[in-house]
Amino acid sequence: MGTAKFLLYMTVFVIAWVVVNLVGLFGFRWDPYPFILLNLFFSTQASYAAPLIMLAQNRQEMRDKLSLDEDREVARQSRADMDFLAREIAAIRMALGELATRDFVRGELRGELRDLEARLNKVAEIDE
């Protein structure tokens, strides 16, 4: 019930019911105007449809709740992962701050090289 196919079939059925009972195509009218039997069928159908619709709504509500709980769990896990990654990035930044830069190391090595050259020159002067 509620699908386009059902609505189309129901519309055709009702139109046929009304035409047959107004015109009397088969020689008799089993449900003359005001179509009390048709109204009884509709009432019976509605009495079955309403609880089915409510059951479907309850099931959909339960599915939505489960989906919401799963979404919350995924969001919580994503938040925990982001917090962990933020701490890791901060630790890497701090570690990088403690590392010697290339220019600093070059400067230190040049200074050591000058000291070694000066010592070699002194040793060479002493040997002469």
Q: CA–CA separation, 99 vs 73, rounded Å?
A: 39
Long-range CB contacts (within 8 A, 24+) of 1-10: 1/49, 1/52
Measured at the CA of 12, the angle between CA 6 and CA 13, to 5 degrees, comes to 85
Residue 100: inside a domain: yes
pLDDT value of residue 8: 92
pLDDT, position 43: 95
pLDDT over 70 (residue 15):
yes
Residue 1 predicted with pLDDT over 60? no
Residue 65 domain flag: yes
> Is residue 7 domain-resident?
no
Q: Does the pLDDT of residue 2 top 70, yes or no?
A: no
- Overall pTM surpassing 0.85 (yes/no): no
pLDDT digits 0-9 by tens, 55-99: 999 999 999 999 999 999 999 999 999 999 999 999 999 888 777
Contacts for 14 with CB less than 8 Å, ≥ 6 apart: 38
Q: Is residue 24 part of a domain?
A: no
Q: State how far the Cα of 85 lies from the Cα of 42, in Å rounded to an integer.
A: 62
Residue 98 structural domain: 34-127
Residue 75's pLDDT is 97
pLDDT at 9: 93
**Structural domains counted in the chain:** 1
